[in-house]
Homo-oligomer: A and B are copies of this chain.
Amino acid sequence: MSFDIAKNAKAVKIASRNIAQQTSEQKNHLLERMAELIETNEQAILAENAKDISAGRDKGLSDAMLDRLLLTPERIADIAKAIREIVALPDPIGNIANMALRPNGIQVGKMRIPLGVIAMIYEARPNVTAEAAALSIKSGNATILRGGSEAIYSNLAIAQCLHQALEQLGIDKNVVSIVPDTSREVIEQLITLRESIDLVIPRGGEGLIRYVTENSQIPVIQHFKGVCHLYVDKFADLTKALNILVNGKVQKPSACNAFETLLVHQNIADTFLPMVSQTLAQHQVKVHACDKSLHFFNGALLASAADYHAEYLAPEIAIRVVDGFEQAIDHINEFTSDHTEVIVSQDTSRCQRFIRNINSSVVMANASSRFSDGGQLGLGSEIGISTSKLHAYGPMGLQSLTTEKFIVIGDGQIRD
């Protein structure tokens, strides 16, 4: 397939001025229409999805991959529901913060505006197509969606609904552009188009994210991995600590906000680690333990530095006994992925010091790492998690797709 991504991106840039000027009412009306059209075109979308599933089987995709790709009437209803949840979110655009009068009488403030054009590069989930488009529209942005080849039929079917809604409401249909070309070359070119695109968000395997980060000429927001730490302090409530450990490690081990390493203060190791050992065994969690904790665990392996770097994404954990608070901090600073770290302690000043000293994107005291999620933190729908510090850090909501300009209102003032 031959597709002129540069020409396409220019058209999307022009369309971005159109969507940026729509009122909240107009944007919500458009999103509502999109949700309806996805519902009424359920059969057509399912038929296209069946082609992706069949091609995926032929290609030998794993069951997990095929499941992520699969659409059902229920899942299509969920997509429409997700769009309606975005309708219900407050519109960040146009808000003015901190309007202040300067000594010479000019008024200075900052107004929230869209970024412009956002490119998403993602893999096989067709629901991302609809949700990323909806979040972009709500925040006044145009978007270029380059999904994986596995979901191409599903994505184009969903795109048709989105485009129909745009056309019905007389809005430039390039506000949402689905790239029909799923070749690697199109990504290579896309990430150089800095005149047209304001932000690239890659979502997928570490290889893709690394490639985009190393080669993009456009700002990138990326999420490499989540090596989340739980530090159980000598002043911890051990029952709370155990609950938080199990919730963070076992509830959804494949999530990036699952715990991968447990650090235990030496003073409580003899009490706490037998509890941990029993509980992790019940949940069939594989253990890599340091030399001081190895003897508490049946069948555990000795932990290496590689284990402390590992994002297992599985029922598997690294455990280390630390000689104090400072060593816990040092361990986390050395192995952090800047995702989420948790302290369990009843001592308020140690909780404060932990929160102050660790600069990961989410730092918690006495709560499960599983709360490290846009919905749980109160952001509404989540567009991703950033583990790099520029622009957005941590779970990203609508506001992460916006920026602020300065506005100045004078009455003829000039500078001395």
Specify which of B198, B244, B394, B415 is in contact with A247 (CB 8 Å cutoff).
B415
The smallest beta-carbon distance between A84 and chain B, in angstroms, is: 20
CB of A409 closer than 8 Å to a CB of B? yes
**Of the 9-residue stretches A62-70, A288-296, A317-325, A384-392, which lies at the interface with chain B?**
A384-392
**Interface of chain A: mostly helix, strand, loop or mixed:** mixed
Which residues of A362-400 have CB atoms within 8 Å of chain B's CB atoms?
362-368, 370-372, 376-378, 388-391, 393-395
**Of the 9-residue stretches A33-41, A105-113, A226-234, which lies at the interface with chain B?**
A105-113
Q: A367-B409, A367-B410 are in contact. Are A111 and B214 (CB under 8 A)?
A: no
A403 touching B414 by the CB < 8 A rule? no
Copies in the complex: 2
For residue A372, which residues in chain B have a CB less than 8 angstroms away from its CB?
Answer: 406, 408
B403 touching A364 by the CB < 8 A rule? no
Specify which of B20, B102, B111 is in contact with A376 (CB 8 Å cutoff).
B102
The smallest beta-carbon distance between A372 and chain B, in angstroms, is: 8
Contact size class for A? 35 or more
Which residues of A99-121 have CB atoms within 8 Å of chain B's CB atoms?
100, 102, 106, 108, 111, 113-116
Cα A114 to Cα B389 with chains together (Å): 9
Specify which of B108, B115, B414 is in contact with A389 (CB 8 Å cutoff).
B115
**A61-102 near B? 1/0 per residue, CB < 8 Å:** 000000000000000000000000000000000100000101
For residue A405, which residues in chain B have a CB less than 8 angstroms away from its CB?
Answer: 359-363, 393-394
Nearest residue (CB) in B for A377 is B108
A415 touching B376 by the CB < 8 A rule? yes
Specify which of B111, B237, B366, B368 is in contact with A409 (CB 8 Å cutoff).
B366
B244 touching A408 by the CB < 8 A rule? no
Which residues of A225-273 have CB atoms within 8 Å of chain B's CB atoms?
237, 239-240, 243-244, 246-248, 251
CB of A199 closer than 8 Å to a CB of B? yes
For residue A17, which residues in chain B have a CB less than 8 angstroms away from its CB?
Answer: 333
B364 touching A407 by the CB < 8 A rule? yes
Cα A409 to Cα B237 with chains together (Å): 15
Query: Which interface residue of A111, A246, A368 has the most chain B CB atoms within 10 A?
Result: A368
The 5 lowest CB-CB distance pairs between A and B, nearest first, are: A367-B410, A240-B412, A247-B414, A370-B415, A364-B408
